[in-house]
Homo-oligomer: A and B are copies of this chain.
Amino acid sequence: MEPKSFKWFNDYLSPDEGHIHGIKDILYTKQTKYQQMEIMQTGSYGRCLVLDGKMQSTEKDEFIYHEILVHPALLTHPNPKKVFIVGGGEGATLREVLRHKSVEHVLMVDIDQEVVEACKKHLPEWHQGSFDDKRVELRYLDARKYLEETDEIYDVIIIDISEPVEEGPAYLLYTKEFYGIVNKRLSPEGTISLQAGTTAMHSLLCLSSVYQTIKTAFPIVCVHEAYIPSFGLPWGFITASKRNDPMKFTIEEIDNAIKKRIKGTLKYYDGETHISSFHLAKHIRKSMQEYDKIIEDNAPIFTYH
């Protein structure tokens, strides 16, 4: 097989490894107040969003990431009415949340207004008009500060932001202190969901430390995973809850819940996907258990260094 493209986007996973995409065009570039944003047209995955040189999601496979981030958390909660989304600028996390008939109100908070507005305009296949849904409130502010100051209580909180692998303020949304704040803003059956970095063998530091950190704040913490083709990587997610354990759900229970509670047809997630996603390979579980570092406000993790 020979490459056809003469323009390439190189997504380095480490200094010695990368996943590369032939690109047809760069449709949008913007240096926002917080990050470098680009929308590219790739040869294999349609349009994609790139922030600070890292692939975020693509037209062809974003359904995998967003379905597995949202549905396990909402379906294993008995009746989620109020949902809080941190980040998720593309609007696809919002789109999946809104499919749940039980949901009455969603507050989405993103710090980067420029990214959200560019996604609204240039990535309509992602949000599919979700920002116009009457149940949605969209605010541009610091999510942690909001949660510290509000009296609101949510059933599900979904944190859809970059993993804390490099220096930067994102790691303050991955600390023990932050998960303590989140816990206080959840109802008794409250559940959270977030992405936690790759589950590829050599890069389990991030996932393992986020896992150990969330265990300080929640009694039930489950790692699950999905392969994201455009990343060239399997991706790890964490669903944590005060009361509901995703591991206890059978294929049939998930399939029935989808039928009853979700509008439209899912492409990635169903009962069998649930079982596959929440059971992990032996070496991943071993890494998670052996790891003993907790991320704290004054103790970030730094990978790749």
Contact = CB atoms under 8 A, between A and B. Distances in A.
Interface string A271-285: 011011101111101
Contacts of A267: 282-283
B2 A17 contact: no
A272 B280 contact: yes
A269 interface: yes
A7 B10 contact: yes
**Helix, strand, loop or mixed for chain A's interface?**
mixed
A18 B3 contact: yes
Contacts of A269: 281-282
Given A202-B44, A234-B227, A281-B268, A25 B15 contact: no
Interface string A22-58: 1111100100000000000011100000000100000
Interface string A176-220: 000000000000000000000001111000000000000000000
A4 interface: yes
A4 B276 CA distance: 36
Contact of A273 (B20, B22, B279): B279
Interface string A251-282: 00000000000000011111011011101111
B16 A44 contact: yes
A60 interface: yes
Contact of A268 (B19, B227, B272, B282): B282
B6 A44 contact: no
Nearest to A12: B1
B29 A15 contact: no
24 contacts: A3-B16, A3-B18, A6-B53, A7-B7, A8-B10, A14-B44, A15-B22, A16-B21, A17-B20, A18-B19, A18-B20, A19-B19, A60-B202, A64-B201, A200-B229, A268-B281, A269-B281, A269-B282, A270-B282, A272-B279, A273-B279, A275-B279, A276-B277, A279-B279
